[in-house]
Amino acid sequence: MRIFSTAMALAAGLFASTAMAEDFPSRPITLVVPYAAGGNVDVSTRILQKALGDTLGQPVVVENRPGGGGMIAGAYVARSKPDGYTLLVGSNGPIMFGPMTSAKPPYKWEKDLEPVSMLAQATNLMLVRADFPAKTVKAFIDYAKAHPGDIRVGISSLVSINHFLGLLLRQSTDSKWTEVYYNGNAPAVADLVAGQIDAGFQQMVDAKQHIEGGRLRALAVVGDKRSPLFPDVPTMAEAGFASIQGVTFNGVFAPKGTPSEIINILSTKIQAALQTPDAVAHLSALGSEAHGTTPDEFRTFLVAETVKWEDVIAKSNAEKAKK
């Protein structure tokens, strides 16, 4: 009798989720952004909002919930009803780095969120102030080793890809420099332009105008190919540092338990939206590449990135313990 009851319950649940999917979406969908309006994630989300609304047939609303390194928004979505109507547009910080570096994280993507589709990948650059003596990555590392601790590297946020790329380079080359911390990309870039700091990693969208104006120098692209916007800037691999790889990603997540049928509908629609010429062009103008994926492709990417950066964190903690 108990087996029969369990089977009936499972069948009822399957029927309910199938019925939900057949009617999905029947009302507006909210994309929750973990940062204030105007930044890379917010602008990318609004590009998706426009393209996705055209394909879903329902309004798509963007809701900004900044704070806590992006984890306020992440926790909100993780606790939301798993029906596909409340989604998180997460990036490296709130998805991986924040939870990884928190003693008691409010969520972990593996347990509390369902990957739906990647949205975009942004170009990351290694930058120095215009008058810094090193003109290549190798020369920068040589300078750092000759002047241990003297170079001031700007850190936009403790839980940003920019910080972790710097950690990876420092660990891989056994170099030393001084980290200067900021609350966001804008003030870090401003001080780099002003010469208050010497170097840093930033996204293309934040650095492009300053590179073009000669106020900053790009030493390398942190990625597997050169940027069409700056074709003369080598990749890290071309500069001789192939292990220094990392990508800024934006992606769409649903609360854990969202029916797979709804996840697949959303993923298919997002992928289609990101193939429209308008979305591709607008993301490209940000220095980003539209990059829709299946849920499984996105999950595979996230698992690999999580393992990689957990190792960097472990090594960083070991370095601190020695001091």
Q: Is the pLDDT of residue 316 over 90?
A: no
As a three-state string, the secondary structure of the chain is CHHHHHHHHHHHHHHHHHHHHHCCCCCCEEEEECCCCCCHHHHHHHHHHHHHHHHHCCCEEEEECCCHHHHHHHHHHHCCCCCCCEEEEEEHHHHHHHHHHCCCCCCCHHHHEEEEEEEEEECEEEEEECCCCCCCHHHHHHHHHHCCCCCEEEECCCCCHHHHHHHHHHHHHCCCCEEEECCCHHHHHHHHHHCCCCEEEEEHHHHHHHHHCCCEEEEEEECCCCECCECCCCECCCCCCCCCCCCEEEEEEEECCCCHHHHHHHHHHHHHHCCCHHHHHHHHHCCEEECCCCHHHHHHHHHHHHHHHHHHHHHHHHHHHHC
Q: Is the pLDDT of residue 321 over 70?
A: no
Whether 322 is covered by a domain: the verdict is no
Whether 240 is covered by a domain: the verdict is no
Range of the domain at 209: 124-222
Confidence of residue 16 (pLDDT cuts 50, 70, 90): low
Q: What is the mean pLDDT of residues 261-280?
A: 96
Given 170, 188, 222, the domain boundary residue is 222
Same domain? For 172 and 104 the reply is no
CATH number of residue 172's parent domain: 3.40.190.10
Whether 321 is covered by a domain: the verdict is no
Question: Which one is predicted more confidently, 56 or 191?
Answer: 191
Same domain? For 86 and 176 the reply is no
Whether 323 is covered by a domain: the verdict is no
Same domain? For 100 and 183 the reply is no
Q: Is the pLDDT of residue 154 over 90?
A: yes
Same domain? For 171 and 214 the reply is yes
Same domain? For 100 and 162 the reply is no
Confidence of residue 257 (pLDDT cuts 50, 70, 90): very high
Confidence of residue 8 (pLDDT cuts 50, 70, 90): low
- Residue located via tokens 């293309």: 204
Same domain? For 74 and 178 the reply is no
Whether 243 is covered by a domain: the verdict is no
Same domain? For 252 and 148 the reply is no
Number of domains in the chain: 2
pLDDT confidence of residue 115:
98
Same domain? For 43 and 63 the reply is yes
Same domain? For 88 and 160 the reply is no
Given 160, 187, 222, the domain boundary residue is 222
pLDDT confidence of residue 19:
56
Whether 104 is covered by a domain: the verdict is yes
pLDDT confidence of residue 69:
87
CATH number of residue 301's parent domain: 3.40.190.150
Residue-wise pLDDT for 168-208, tens only, equals 999 999 999 999 999 888 899 999 999 999 999 998 888 99
Residue-wise pLDDT for 103-141, tens only, equals 999 999 999 999 999 999 988 999 999 999 999 999 999
Confidence of residue 317 (pLDDT cuts 50, 70, 90): confident
pLDDT confidence of residue 157:
85
Whether 271 is covered by a domain: the verdict is yes
Same domain? For 153 and 68 the reply is no
Same domain? For 8 and 75 the reply is yes
Q: Percentage of the chain with pLDDT > 90?
A: 76
Same domain? For 118 and 6 the reply is yes
Whether 235 is covered by a domain: the verdict is no
Confidence of residue 56 (pLDDT cuts 50, 70, 90): confident
